[in-house]
A and B are shown apart, each in its own frame.
Chain A
């Protein structure tokens, strides 16, 4: 699975980071960084939840 963030949509609410800190990090510059573009399968449930709960629907998951 591959995590794709649309940075034109992302508003750095950091919800994704709250759900899957292994994959998403909002840093002090207020920008979101994807720590693992291809996270391991065991993180799928968390990443899917982050996709669902992003207030800007800025995250997509590609298989």
Chain B
């Protein structure tokens, strides 16, 4: 009998897994299940081109949708349980889908603030519906938008608002935005970038309450100040969508823990934001929420699963990338490769911070571990290659010098 595969999650990782499996010649049934009602879509534009109004929602549909992949796509269906032994997924309503292999790719969901009210005008930003709701709020001409959290999503929302000449207050509980990822110096550069573009940035400030009668009217800050606002966007991070896997037998610990080939259990692989794997390169369990990680993991997980369902696999690849992502804010493209941290040595190796066009290297224990670029994609990509080769700090400095 032809084997069957079930993919839970039709976002980037799930759809890339589907594409990989088909392209590798798998001709069995592929069922793809997703709680979202929309056709599978790409998420980066949701905080960029969709909010700015440049793109209509139809443009975010993933290209795999229009490829002839012969998928049995079940939209607006939530998976509620997985039985690992029989590789059976239970859907809302009780329907069960059994298969020879399962790909777990349900990603993450946006976190809410503790005590966050369900008031119209208060938004999370994770799904296409979230993005369209925020956009409608911006289209309505708000007096002011309050963005809670100055991470990458918050920063992009603030930039989209400023691009539409909407007043923005961005509230961040930490003293320096993104310090945990970029360190103090580079986090302060990001803070300045927002201020230069007219964002009212409140650092070291929490939120005491979000208030309003019929809809949101104001945000009360931890210092007691009240900011009037018609739209509030909460961008305080995400959490893996693992609730449906409780009792499945999979190891759940800040995601689905898998091995370095992305196998989570016999016949079950995980991919994308939800998957946590032991990185050989970094010697720790990693879970990465970036676009490219979802693409690459989907491919590797798909190939891994083909080996599990008995197809000849050339070789089982080990998943061990150097993470990379980008963020577009105002007219700046920020790219980060590697694993930088707040205690790393930082050297600006190209351009200048003042111009907001530069490359910074991060080093730790004699090795180059990260590279941050602002409007310098060429340099970031070249240095990323060097990170993949495990370059020493000194060699990386010399190499960067030679990039011109």
Contacts and interface: CB of A to CB of B under 8 A. Distances in A.
Interface of A: 11-15, 17-18, 25-28, 30, 52-53, 55, 57
B380 A14 contact: yes
Nearest to A12: B377
Interface in B374-398: 375, 377-378, 380-382, 384-385
- By DSSP majority rule, is chain A's interface helix, strand, loop, or mixed? loop
* Interface range on chain B (Cβ under 8 Å from partner): 20 to 34
Interface stretch (B3-11, B126-134, B289-297, B360-368): B289-297
A28 B333 CA distance: 14
Given A15-B324, A27-B378, 18 more contacts: A11-B326, A12-B333, A12-B377, A13-B333, A13-B335, A14-B377, A14-B381, A15-B292, A15-B381, A17-B378, A18-B381, A26-B378, A26-B381, A30-B375, A53-B292, A53-B296, A55-B291, A57-B63
B378 A28 contact: yes
Nearest to B375: A30
Contact of B44 (A25, A27, A30, A55): A55
B328 interface: yes
Interface in B268-308: 291-292, 295-296, 299
Nearest to B62: A57
Most buried by A among B292, B377, B382: B377
Contacts of B377: 12-14, 17, 26, 30
A37 B165 CA distance: 41
A55 B375 contact: no
A59 B328 CA distance: 20
A47 to B, nearest CB: 15
Given A15-B381, A17-B381, A30-B375, A52 B335 contact: no
B261 to A, nearest CB: 19
13 contacts: A11-B328, A11-B333, A13-B326, A13-B333, A13-B377, A14-B378, A15-B381, A17-B377, A18-B381, A18-B382, A26-B378, A26-B381, A57-B63
Contacts of A53: 292, 295-296
Most buried by B among A13, A28, A30, A57: A13
B336 to A, nearest CB: 12
A53 to B, nearest CB: 6
A14 B325 CA distance: 11
Interface in B295-345: 295-296, 299, 324, 326, 328, 333, 335
Contacts of B295: 52-53
Contacts of A52: 16, 295, 299
A9 B317 CA distance: 31
A22 to B, nearest CB: 14
Contacts of B328: 11
B404 to A, nearest CB: 9
Contacts of B333: 11-13
A15 B335 CA distance: 11
Give the 5 A-B residue pairs with the shortest CB-CB distance, closest first.
Answer: A14-B377, A18-B381, A14-B381, A26-B378, A57-B63
A57 B380 CA distance: 20
Contacts of B324: 15
Nearest to B48: A11
A26 B382 CA distance: 11
